[in-house]
Amino acid sequence: MQSPFEFQMEILKVELDQINSAIRQMDDITKNIKDWAIVTWTLSLGTTLATASLHSFIGFTAIIPLVFWLIDARYRQIQRRFIYRIRQISDFLNDTRLRQSFDEQQLIGFQVLDPMAIKSRGNPDYESYVSLFRTLRFGSVLNLYLSLILISMVVHLIFHNFIF
């Protein structure tokens, strides 16, 4: 039979596995969001360019990557919650609380089974780390979606200033 401490340490291992799985799942979701953004934007831009009656809507194709950018950032925000929790676990495993916990056979200053670090809400470091504004500025997110938006706007300007 396990002691409560051994049980908590085992749950901590399970929590790490769950967190890693969730992070991979969020990576897959955000990859799919990018794929759909590119396909939807390309189709929309191509349709507006190919159909003369839709030329006036070319600029509106910039809205599509904007919407996907927000959705992508939201999923990255969720992913950051899991990553924040991994940072908390790492801090615990690498400081004196771990040694104390083994000495006293109970977790000291650490709570298990909080994979999204919900208990950290309100903590300024947590709020900064998982903020939507921060995830909107990630290079892999920002560069793609801003590029699509800019291309839509440039094509719109070209069509409306030089073609007509």
Neighbouring CB atoms inside 10 A of 79's CB total: 21
> What tens-digit pLDDT sequence spans the chain (164 residues)?
789 999 999 999 999 999 999 999 999 999 999 999 999 999 999 999 999 999 999 999 999 999 999 999 999 999 999 999 999 999 999 999 999 999 999 999 999 999 999 999 999 999 999 999 999 999 988 999 999 999 999 999 998 887 65
Let me know: does 76 contact 135? Beta carbons within 8 Å. yes
Domain of residue 102 covers 4-163
110's tokens: 């650490």
- 3: phi then psi, degrees, rounded to nearest 5: -80, 160
Tokens 């615990």 -> residue:
92
pLDDT at position 163, please? 60
Q: How far apart (Å, rounded) are the C-alpha atoms in residues 50 and 68? A: 23
| Separation CA 126–CA 118 (nearest Å) | 10
Q: Which burial class, exposed, middle or buried, applies to 54 when counting CB atoms under 10 A from its CB (0-12, 13-18, 19+)?
A: middle
Count how many domains the chain has: 1
